[in-house]
C-alpha cells in the first residue's frame, strides 16, 4: 500500500479528547476516528490489525471444535422477554419498535438468539455437544464511554456458545475455552491474568474474566502474594477472623449524644470498630415488576459493604432479580421504623424490609448497634437472639492486606481492563426458552450452555496501551497492519526511487506487502510517521544508503540500524520477521 493513496492521515498534535496513551496514539497514527460518544470508525490500518486478531480468534476457536455462523444484530423482543432479561436490563439495552409496532432490540449479546436456535435445531443427545461462534457488532448504550476503544457503545466481539447434555460436558468446553483464550491473547502479544468474576446480567454458576493489568483499568482485582488466588474485587473473598467467644450479655440501652458514625461511636465508647454492627440501607429495584425493596445490610463496623455481593444476596432471598441498586433516602429509612445514624434491625417493621447480615456477624457476640432512636445505641446485641436475618451471606468488600481465603497470604489490589470473559450459564436460558433434547431413554432434558466472549476493539486498544514509547506505537509482528514500513528518500538522479519501486514489487511478490511511504515529504516527517504508526521493521532507501552498500534496516523496537545489500533484502526481511515471531512465542511460552 502506497501512503500517497492510504485513506488515513497522521496528526501532529495530541487530540485534546484523548485520555490515555492508546487513544491518543490510535488517533494520531490514523487508525481510528470518533463519530460520536463511544462510537468509532476503524480506518484501514486498524481494520488490517483487527483482521489479524480475528484470524487468530478463528484459528483457535476452530481448533477446539467451533463452527462459525452469523446471527442477527436486531432481535425481536420476544426472546428477551421469555428469559426475563427484557426487564432485568436497564437503559444500556437499545430498544425500538419496527414499522409494525413490534418491540425490537439491538444486540448486546446473543444468549437468547443461540438458545432459540438450539430449541429449533437440537432434538437428540446424538447432536450434542456443539460449539458455535461468530464475530459481530454489538451495541450497549453505556452512559459513560471513555478511554477511546477501552469503553465504547458499539463494538465488535467474538462470542461463542457451547451446548452440552450435562455439566461434565460444559466443564470440558469451559476448560477448552479457558486455555484457548490464553493462546489467543498470547499470540496477540497481550499478557493477561484470569480471575474469578461475578456472573452479572449473564447469570449462571461460574465465570472468569481475562484481565490486562494496567493503571488505566476500571476494574480492581485482588491477587494473593503467596499463591495463585485471583478474583475481581466484586466477588473476592478473604479469611475472616474468628471472633473471641463470649457469653451473651443482656442488651443495654446507652446514651450516645451526637454520635452517628462508626468512628465516633468507637471513640465515644472506647471500643474497637470490630465490636460494632454497621447498618447500611439500599433501595433495590426489582425486575419483572415495578416494586422496590428496602435492603438493610448489617456488617462488622470495621468493614466495608460490597454492593455486588449484596445484589447477589438479595437474589438468594427469592424476592426477585435486582435491576438497580441505590442508597436509600432518610425518609425511606424512617418509614420502616429505623433511624438514620442510629439504626439496627431490632424493633423495625420487618414486613417492609429485607435484612441481610454478613456471615461474620452470627459468630460475633455482644456488638454495639443502633437503638433506632436519635442519640442512643444498644450494647450487647446478638444475631439470632435479638433479631433474625432474612439472609446470611458474605457481603464484605476485600481490602489490601486482608488474608487470602485459599492460603492466608496477603491480598494485593491491582487495576485491570477486562478483554475477555467466560461463563457457565448452565440451564439459565434453556429452561426459560424450552431448549431441550431427548436422552437415551427418551426423556426430555434441558441443554447445558456456556457463553464466551472477547472484545476485538478493546483488545486492539490494550495492545496499543501495552506496546508504545514516546514516539508512537510498536506493534507485535502478529498484529501489525503491514510487516514492513518502506521509506524512500528521493535523490537527484532517481536511483533511490527506482530501487525502492523494485523492492516494493519484490516484497509484494514475496507475500510481504509493505506500507510504502512514497509521499513527497521531508525525511523527518517520514521517519516520525513511521515511528508513530509502529510497524515492526523500517526499510529506508536513499542515495546515502545505496552509497553505503544497500538499504537501511531498523527494527521499531530497537535503535540500531544496519545496511543490508540490495540482493539480500528479501531474505533478511523474512529472517527478521521470523525472529520477531520467535521472540513473541518465546515471551509467552506458546
Task: Say which range, 95-99, 211-215, 322-326, 370-374, has the weakest mean pLDDT.
Answer: 322-326
| CA–CA gap between residue 564 and residue 571 (Å, rounded) | 10
Q: Which three cell numbers stand for residue 26?
A: 490510535
> Could you tell me which residues are beta bridge partners of residue 286?
322
Read off the pLDDT of each residue in 316-326 and give the average, rounded to a whole number. Answer: 79
Strand partners, 370: 377
Spatial contact of 449 and 161, defined as CB atoms under 8 Å apart = yes
Instruction: Judge whether 479 and 462 are in contact, CB under 8 Å.
Output: no
Where does residue 375 rank: exposed (0-12), middle (13-18), buried (19+ CB within 10 A)? middle
CB 112 within 8 A of CB 45: no
Average pLDDT score over residue span 419-425: 95
For the ranges 240-254, 285-299, 482-496, the lowest mean pLDDT is seen at 285-299
Written as one string, the DSSP assignment of 150-182 is GB-SEEEEEEEEEEESSHHHHHHHHHHHHHHHH
Nearest Cα residue to 217 out of 458, 471, 402, 34: 458
Residues with Cβ within 8 Å of 308's Cβ and at least 6 positions away in sequence, in order, are 198, 234, 235
Coil, helix or strand for 259?
A: coil
Mean pLDDT of 541-562: 96
Burial of 575 (C-beta count, 10 Å sphere; 0-12/13-18/19+): exposed
At 457 the pLDDT is 97
pLDDT at residue 247 in the model:
94
Domain with CATH 3.40.50.800 in the chain: 482-588
Other CB atoms within a 10 A radius of the CB of residue 69 amount to 11
Report pLDDT digits (tens) over 542-551. 999 999 999 9
- Any idea which fold 252-393 has? YbaK protein (3.90.960)
Residue 498, beta-bridge partner list: none
- Could you tell me whether strands 230-232 and 367-370 are parallel, antiparallel, or unpaired per DSSP bridges? unpaired
Q: Report which of 388, 387, 391 is spatially closest to residue 312, judged by C-alpha positions.
A: 391
- Residue pLDDT, tens place only, 242-257: 998 899 999 999 999 9
Report the mean per-residue pLDDT for the chain.
94
The whole-number pLDDT of residue 191 equals 94
Give the residue carrying C-alpha cell 470498630.
273
Q: How confident is the model at residue 590 (pLDDT cuts 50, 70, 90)?
A: very low
CA distances from 250 to 68, 257, 348, 360 (A): 67, 22, 19, 21
Q: What is the mean pLDDT of residues 10-28?
A: 91
pLDDT at residue 288 greater than cutoff 70? no
| Strands of 376-381's sheet in order across | 252-255, 376-381, 367-370
CATH 3.90.960.10 domain span(s) along the chain: 252-393
C-alpha cell at 34: 470518533
Where, residue-wise, is CATH 3.30.930.10 in the chain?
A: 21-236+413-465
Coil/strand/helix, residue 73: coil
Q: What is the rounded distance in angstroms from the CA atom of residue 79 to the CA atom of residue 160?
A: 19
The whole-number pLDDT of residue 364 equals 95
With 90 as the cut, is the pLDDT of residue 287 above it? no
**What's the predicted TM-score (pTM) here?**
0.90
Question: Is the pLDDT at 459 greater than 90, yes or no?
Answer: yes
**CATH class of the 21-236+413-465 domain in this structure:** alpha beta
Cell of 237: 473473598
Please compute the mean of the pLDDT values over residues 353-367 and round it to a whole number: 95
**Percentage of residues of the chain with pLDDT beyond 90:** 87
C-alpha span between 337 and 331 (Å, rounded): 10
Residue pair 160/133 in contact (Cβ under 8 Å)? The answer is: yes
Superfamily of domain 482-588: Anticodon-binding domain (3.40.50.800)
Confidence of residue 16 (pLDDT cuts 50, 70, 90): confident
The sign of the CA dihedral 136, 112, 209, 183 is negative
pLDDT in tens, 504-519: 999 999 999 999 999 9
Q: Indicate if the pLDDT at residue 225 is higher than 90.
A: yes
**64 vs 589, which has greater pLDDT?**
64
Output the pLDDT for position 17. Answer: 83
To 10 degrees, what angle do helices 456-466 and 21-28 make? 100
* 181-183-188 Cα angle (round to 5): 100
Residue 206 pLDDT: 84
The pLDDT confidence band at residue 589, using thresholds 50, 70 and 90, is low
Query: Which has the closest alpha carbon to 426: 205, 150, 192?
Result: 205
Is residue 514 left, alpha or beta, with left meaning phi > 0 and alpha meaning psi from -120 to 50? beta
- Count of Cβ atoms closer than 10 Å to residue 97 Cβ: 10
Predicted pLDDT at 289: 63
Amino acid at each position: 500500500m502506497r501512503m500517497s493513496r492510504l485513506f488515513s492521515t497522521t496528526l501532529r498534535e495530541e487530540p485534546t479528547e484523548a485520555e490515555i496513551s492508546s487513544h491518543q496514539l490510535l488517533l494520531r497514527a490514523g487508525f481510528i476516528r470518533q463519530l460520536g460518544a463511544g462510537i468509532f470508525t476503524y480506518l484501514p490500518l486498524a481494520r488490517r490489525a483487527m483482521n489479524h486478531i480475528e484470524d487468530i480468534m478463528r484459528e483457535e476457536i476452530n481448533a477446539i471444535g467451533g463452527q462459525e455462523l452469523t446471527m442477527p444484530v436486531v432481535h425481536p423482543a420476544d426472546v428477551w422477554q421469555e428469559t426475563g432479561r427484557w426487564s432485568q436490563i436497564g437503559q444500556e439495552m437499545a430498544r425500538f419498535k419496527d414499522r409494525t409496532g413490534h418491540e425490537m432490540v439491538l444486540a448486546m449479546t446473543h444468549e437468547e438468539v443461540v438458545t432459540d436456535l438450539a430449541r429449533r435445531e437440537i432434538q437428540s443427545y446424538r447432536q450434542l455437544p456443539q460449539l458455535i461462534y461468530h464475530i459481530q457488532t454489538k451495541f450497549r448504550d453505556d452512559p459513560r464511554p471513555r478511554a477511546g476503544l477501552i469503553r465504547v457503545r458499539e463494538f465488535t466481539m467474538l462470542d461463542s456458545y457451547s451446548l452440552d447434555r450435562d455439566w461434565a460436558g460444559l466443564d470440558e468446553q469451559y476448560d477448552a475455552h479457558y486455555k484457548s483464550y490464553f493462546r489467543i491473547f498470547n499470540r496477540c502479544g497481550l499478557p493477561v491474568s484470569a480471575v474469578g468474576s461475578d456472573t452479572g446480567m449473564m447469570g449462571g454458576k461460574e465465570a472468569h474474566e481475562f484481565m490486562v493489568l494496567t493503571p488505566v483499568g476500571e476494574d480492581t482485582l485482588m491477587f494473593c502474594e503467596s499463591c495463585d488466588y485471583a478474583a475481581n474485587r466484586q466477588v473476592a473473598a478473604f479469611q475472616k477472623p474468628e471472633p473471641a467467644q463470649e457469653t451473651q450479655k443482656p442488651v443495654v440501652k446507652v446514651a450516645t449524644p451526637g454520635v452517628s458514625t462508626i468512628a465516633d461511636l468507637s471513640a465515644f465508647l472506647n471500643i474497637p470498630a470490630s465490636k460494632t454492627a454497621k447498618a447500611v440501607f439500599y433501595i433495590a429495584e426489582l425486575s419483572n415488576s415495578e416494586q422496590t425493596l428496602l435492603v438493610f445490610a448489617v456488617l462488622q463496623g470495621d468493614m466495608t459493604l460490597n454492593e455486588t455481593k449484596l445484589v447477589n444476596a438479595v437474589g438468594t432471598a427469592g424476592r426477585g432479580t435486582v435491576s438497580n441498586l441505590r442508597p436509600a433516602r432518610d425518609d425511606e429509612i424512617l418509614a420502616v421504623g429505623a433511624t438514620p445514624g442510629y439504626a439496627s434491625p431490632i424493633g423495625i417493621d420487618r414486613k417492609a424490609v429485607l435484612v441481610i447480615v454478613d456471615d461474620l456477624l452470627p459468630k460475633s457476640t455482644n456488638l454495639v448497634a443502633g437503638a433506632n432512636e436519635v442519640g442512643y445505641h444498644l450494647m450487647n446485641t446478638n444475631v439470632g437472639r435479638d433479631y433474625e436475618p432474612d439472609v446470611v451471606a458474605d457481603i464484605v468488600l476485600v481490602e489490601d492486606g486482608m488474608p487470602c481465603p485459599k492460603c492466608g497470604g496477603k491480598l494485593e489490589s491491582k487495576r485491570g481492563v477486562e478483554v475477555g470473559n467466560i461463563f457457565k450459564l448452565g440451564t439459565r436460558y434453556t429452561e426459560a426458552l424450552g431448549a431441550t433434547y431427548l436422552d437415551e431413554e427418551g426423556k426430555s432434558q434441558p441443554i447445558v450452555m456456556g457463553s464466551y466472549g472477547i472484545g476485538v476493539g478493546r483488545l486492539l486498544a490494550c495492545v496499543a496501551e501495552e506496546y508504545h514509547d514516546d514516539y508512537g506505537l510498536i506493534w507485535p509482528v502478529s498484529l501489525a497492519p503491514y510487516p514492513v514500513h518502506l521509506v524512500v528518500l528521493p535523490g537527484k538522479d532517481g536511483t533511490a526511487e527506482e530501487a525502492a519501486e523494485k523492492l516494493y514489487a519484490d516484497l509484494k511478490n514475496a507475500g510481504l506487502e509493505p506500507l510504502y511511504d512514497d509521499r513527497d515529504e521531508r525525511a523527518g516527517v517520514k521517519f516520525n510517521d513511521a515511528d508513530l504508526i509502529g510497524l515492526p521493521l523500517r526499510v529506508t532507501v536513499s542515495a546515502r544508503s545505496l552509497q553505503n552498500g544497500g538499504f537501511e534496516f531498523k527494527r521499531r523496537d530497537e535503535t540500531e540500524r544496519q545496511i543490508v545489500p540490495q540482493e539480500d533484502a528479501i531474505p533478511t526481511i523474512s529472517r527478521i520477521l521470523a525472529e520477531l515471531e520467535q521472540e513473541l512465542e518465546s515471551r509467552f511460552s506458546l
